[in-house]
Structure formats: structure tokens, C-alpha cells
Amino acid sequence: MSRLDLRNGSVEMVHGSGGRAMGQLIEELFARALRNEWLDQRNDQAQFELPPGRVVMATDSHVISPLFFPGGDIGSLAVHGTINDVAMAGARPCYLAAGFILEEGFPLADLARIVESMAAAAREAGVPVVTGDTKVVEHGKGDGVFITTTGVGVVPPGLHLSGDQARPGDRILLSGSIGDHGVTILSLREGLGFEADIGSDSQALHGLVAAMLAAVPEIRCLRDPTRGGLGNTLNELARQSGVGMQLVERAIPVREPVRAACEFLGLDPLYVANEGKLIAICPAERAERLLEAMRAHPQGREAAIIGTVVADEHRFVQMETPFGGSRMVDWLSGEQLPRIC
């Protein structure tokens, strides 16, 4: 049997049949790129030890369009997104699983590029992909490739971060500028050219989280503002904790190209997706120390204190404008940016 044609070949239905062709796809593409001691065992599952603590598990499906974009692709995004979901519990991400839905006719060269990007992202993060699955659907029944990743991590004893822990008087911190990922994807999709000046912020944040917790273990909750952006995520946290939030608009970092693109497109950066930022809520007396720790880390250099948790039975999120007024930051209505992750 000849080797896979990774230059000119494409996915065929037989690659999902469970036979020799599927074995070849796994061996010559997936196993070669993602190689580690667990995949080398060629079992249908992975067996592993975990350090002491509570086990955290998160799963994420990725349907982003386009598949490749400045700052990443669906492969690296699948790794980063799931690692970040695990890390927001204060956990150390340990292992990943990946499931691929491939469309018949999808170029093997593109698939190889995606898998190699996933492998590179996993290696850089130190979180291996230890098991997986591949299915193939008929041409026209998919859109190239969809990826589902599941992550497992461990929270050390004594640590409990949750979205229901915010208390009136707490400070709200943001790790950096918002809107980069969403504007990059929309610009590329519509051929607007803004992505030349921006690029996705997709990155794994567990290193930043570890540094933050080492400096301020009293952090109450963490959340990454992905779909729905900062505005939706803060509404989620306010609802969970039964509190209100008061933001300061001028304190929220937004890059000028993102601001300009949003103005041109009629978008509010507060609701544009991010893939490499986090929100932290902590007691007021620890906020400056936490800010210092975040800014000392490469992924938190633009960190800022952007608001305060307040008592509010209505659980409203409000924002002080640069002109001294106030506006509601409500839940996002409708779908602003479909298939953003």
C-alpha cells in the first residue's frame, strides 16, 4: 500500500471505515504528529496517573470558519480553548483528547497542517493529546473539519474558584485588550483587510493563571471571555453570583485597529470574541497585588482593573462612559459573529 499523498491527496470515505486506509491515516498523519507515550500504545483509551486534588474536565467543539487565520488555526485553537476552560478552575491541565469529523474531499495537506499545528500547541503548553477518534462524512455533509477536544486537569487541595463567588466590593480585572480574535476572523471572512493589523489572540493561559494564583490565592473566580465577549461573560458571572457590576469604560483596553474595525462594522468591542484573555475577580485589598503579578507575566502586560462588584438584586452590569454618563451592558441579543470558534 502506497503512502498517503499529503501533498495532493484528499480525505476519502474509506479513511473512516475502520480498515487499512483508516489505520494508515492514523499512523502516517495523526500518530506521527501527535506522538507521545500514550498514543504509542495504540489503545482505544488512555490510562494515566493524576496528581492529588479535585479532577476538572472540560469539553469544547470547534467549527470556526475560516480554518486558518492570522495567529492560529482550528488545530491550535482547539488546544488553547480547552486548556483555558480547565485552567479557569485554577486547575493544572494535564491531558487532552481530540475527536475529528472530516468531510470527504478535504485536502490532506490542510489536514496535516491542522494536526501539526495542534501538536505544536500541545507541546508548547505541555499538555499532550493522549487519545482521540476520527470520523468521515460524505462530501457536502460537513464543512472540511470539525474538532472536539476534551481536557482533564487537577485543582490543588484547598483551592475553589467558581463563578458564584463574586462579592460586593470585589475588583474586576482583565488580562489584556479585547476583540482581537473576533475582528480578525470577521475581517478575514469578509475580505476587509483588518486582520493585517491585528491577528487572533489565541493562546493557552494556564501559565498566567498559575502565576496569578501564586501571588493571590484569594482569587474568587476566573473566566475567559470567548463567544459573546466581555459583556456576555460579565453578565454570566453577575447572574451566577447574584450581584451587579460597575465597569469603567476608559479602563478597558482595546487596540486601536480593533476599535476602528468595530466602528466601521457597527460592532461593540465588549461583545466581540476573545481566545487568549481572562477575567479575574478578587477581594479589593488584593487587587493591586494581582494586577502587579499579571503585568509581570508576558500574557498579562496590558492587564487592568476595569470595575467593581456591587450589590444589586437585579444583577445588572453597568458601565461609566468617558463622558461621565452610564450605560447598561446587557446580554448580547442575537448572533453577532457566527462560527467564531
Instruction: Supply the CATH number for residue 301's domain.
Output: 3.90.650.10
Residue 128 and residue 230 share a domain: no
Any idea what DSSP says for residue 16?
G
CA distance 196 to 301: 22
pLDDT digits (tens, 9 = 90+) for 115-173: 999 999 999 999 999 999 999 999 999 999 999 999 999 999 999 999 999 999 999 99
pLDDT digits (tens, 9 = 90+) for 177-191: 999 999 999 989 888
| Mean pLDDT over each residue of the chain, to the nearest integer | 95
pLDDT at 1: 65
Which letter, b or e, does each residue of 170-184 get, where b requires 16 or more Cβ atoms within 10 Å of its Cβ?
Answer: bbbbbbbbbbbbbbb
Residue 150 and residue 208 share a domain: no
Residue 183 and residue 141 share a domain: no
Q: Among 12-26, 281-295, 303-317, where is mean pLDDT lowest?
A: 12-26
Instruction: Supply the CATH number for residue 93's domain.
Output: 3.30.1330.10
CA distance 199 to 184: 5
Q: How confident is the model at residue 26 (pLDDT cuts 50, 70, 90)?
A: very high
User: Looking at the predicted structure, is the pLDDT value of residue 193 above 90?
Assistant: no
- The boundaries of the domain holding residue 130 are 13-155
State pTM to two decimals. Answer: 0.96
